[in-house]
Chain A
Amino acid sequence: MSTPPALRVVEKEWVAWRRLWKASVFQATVAPLLFLAAMGLGLGDLVNKGSGGVDGMPYLVFVAPGLMAATTMMQAAGESLWPVLGGVKWMRTYHAAVATPVGAGELFAGHVLWTCLRVLLSATVFLIVAAILGGVPSLWGILAIPAAVLGASVFAAALNGYAVTQESDVPFAVIMRIGLFPLFLFSGTFFPTSRLPDWLQPVSWFSPLWHTVELCRAATTGTAPSAGSVVGHVTFLVACLALGCWWGVRRFTQALTS
């Protein structure tokens, strides 16, 4: 019985990651928790004193799901840009893998799957610590984990597809800075989107991060505007994921088999 090709890719990544885990643990798990402590507790104290919390909840409760969604997005981006370019260009491991029964499509799927596993781990750690700190009032909060993974997978798929045909990593930093980072601004991560100027608020609806944040926040607080809104967010993200996968597989095939 042979392992499905996509899982074989996951296995290879696991072997490589095991060697580097000590270094990367910081970026994926400790850094988000530091953000949680600084914003949730330090800044949170100022917010609670200044306006008694946000939308009726202490700032820590408000910001924890926002940070969870945002940091998993950044982690997915980091996993999907440089390592993919490295596989294609610098180490040419991807070309070697494609020469085996693992095809381009499976390579893509395997890599996205691997990223999701890593996000799953860091999201779980984050949620546990956030809960200990008192930022997760509802038991539904456990659903924030799959929500975060779903949101991260959208970015993983899209950025994998982007990175595989790139020639250098110079645009990556630019993409992070003017593409991903601004999403923090209008996705309800640090402050409610209701505080944005009116003309800017509809922009949120197009941000996958906003949908992820809304889902995570609904889960950790146990409240949502309506059941329909939850379904709407999930649908949007799944649609984005499907689009990203279709595009990603095409780009992988294009880059590795031509």
Chain B
Amino acid sequence: MIAAIAVKEAGRRRHRGGALRVVERNTLAYRRMWLAFVTGLFEPLLYLLSIGIGVGGLVGKIPGPGGEPIPYDQFVAPGLMAAAAMNGAVLDTTFNFFFKYKYAHTYDAMLATPLEVGDVARGEVIWALIRGGIYSGAFLVTMVVLGLVGSWWAVLAIPAALLIAFAFAGAGIAATTFMRSWTDFDFVNLALIPMFLFAATFFPISQYPDALQIIVRCTPLYQGVAIERSLTTGQLQWTMLLNALYLAVMGAVGLRIATARLRVLLQP
């Protein structure tokens, strides 16, 4: 009886770090693929240079979130930063996650140890946060260097980016647990590409007719774009709290669904 209790206590103390072991495994794997990791940042950067600055000069100034006019590059940059957080989170929680759970049996190996399904889901989300955070952090530094940051509130842009990453990571793994083959992944692009283009990343929401504005306001990326733009320009809005709540709920619900689905898929 006493012996059994001793085993349980020892087990419980160890168990809490489970999700971090999953993160540790990803860091070990990416040590060899650091170039692929680093170049993930290039896309938002190139958009910033080509459209933000290249085309930006042709646009001049446009109204910011609070109504005050700002240069176009300062308008676009935070939108791209939100997109960078989204992409950083989604890559590993969709394609790579699918490959690992379905073909590589990576998680089957983990689940034969004290790790649980919840550890796997939380671990992959934490990893996505790290990745999204690194990309956004590097992007923010670039913005500062290029003189595109207008306010000290921009310090909060990193935590905001982590929130964006959390939302998309949770939704990403949840969605992936429902995919059955590689062709289903085109649905991922079907969601990501229109959001990237139309969620007020490149032009203000006021460009849309009212009916479309409502739809755009409901998209996940828009929440992130709105928060980041307000923070980097310093034009804060109270609606940012609603945006943040949306993202937090999206991530949490996604995580819950993913954990339940993984249990069904990996431990029938």
Could you list which residues of chain A lie within 8 angstroms of chain B, going by C-beta atoms?
20, 23-24, 26-27, 31, 34-35, 37-39, 42-43, 45-47, 49-51, 54, 59, 170, 173-174, 177-178, 181-182, 184-185, 189-191, 195-196
Contacts and interface: CB of A to CB of B under 8 A. Distances in A.
A169 to B, nearest CB: 10
Given A50-B60, A173-B39, A177-B40, A38 B198 contact: yes
A38 B242 CA distance: 26
Contacts of A189: 50
A170 B183 contact: no
A196 B55 CA distance: 11
Contact of B202 (A24, A31, A39): A39
B33 interface: yes
B197 A38 contact: yes
B193 A181 contact: no
A62 B46 CA distance: 20
B51 interface: yes
Interface string B146-188: 0000000000000000000000000000000000000110100
Contacts of A34: 193-194, 197-198
B62 A46 contact: yes
Contacts of A20: 183
A47 B186 contact: no
Contact of B59 (A23, A24, A50, A177): A50
14 contacts: A23-B186, A27-B189, A31-B193, A34-B194, A38-B203, A42-B202, A43-B51, A170-B36, A173-B36, A181-B42, A181-B46, A185-B46, A185-B50, A190-B51
A31 B43 CA distance: 16
B203 A43 contact: yes
Contacts of A45: 203, 207
Contacts of B184: 23
B59 A46 contact: yes
B59 A31 contact: no
Interface string B41-74: 0110010011100110111101000000000100
Contacts of A49: 59
Interface in B169-226: 183-184, 186, 189-190, 193-194, 197-198, 202-203, 207
Contacts, number: 94
B35 interface: yes
Nearest to B203: A42
A190 B55 contact: yes
A54 B58 contact: yes
Nearest to B208: A42
Contacts of A177: 39-40, 42-43
B43 A181 contact: yes
Contacts of B190: 26
B189 A191 contact: no
A23 B183 contact: yes
Contact of B54 (A35, A182, A190): A190
Given A26-B186, A38-B202, 17 more contacts: A31-B193, A34-B193, A34-B194, A38-B203, A45-B207, A46-B59, A46-B207, A50-B59, A170-B36, A174-B35, A178-B42, A185-B46, A185-B50, A190-B50, A190-B54, A191-B50, A191-B57
B186 A43 contact: no
Interface string B68-104: 0000100000000000000000000000000000000
A244 B237 CA distance: 54
Given A46-B62, A195-B54, A174 B183 contact: no
A46 B203 contact: yes
Contacts of A181: 42-43, 46
A184 B189 contact: no
Contacts of B49: 185
Contacts of B59: 43, 46-47, 49-51
* Residue of B49, B194, B197, B207 with highest tally of chain A CB at under 10 A: B197
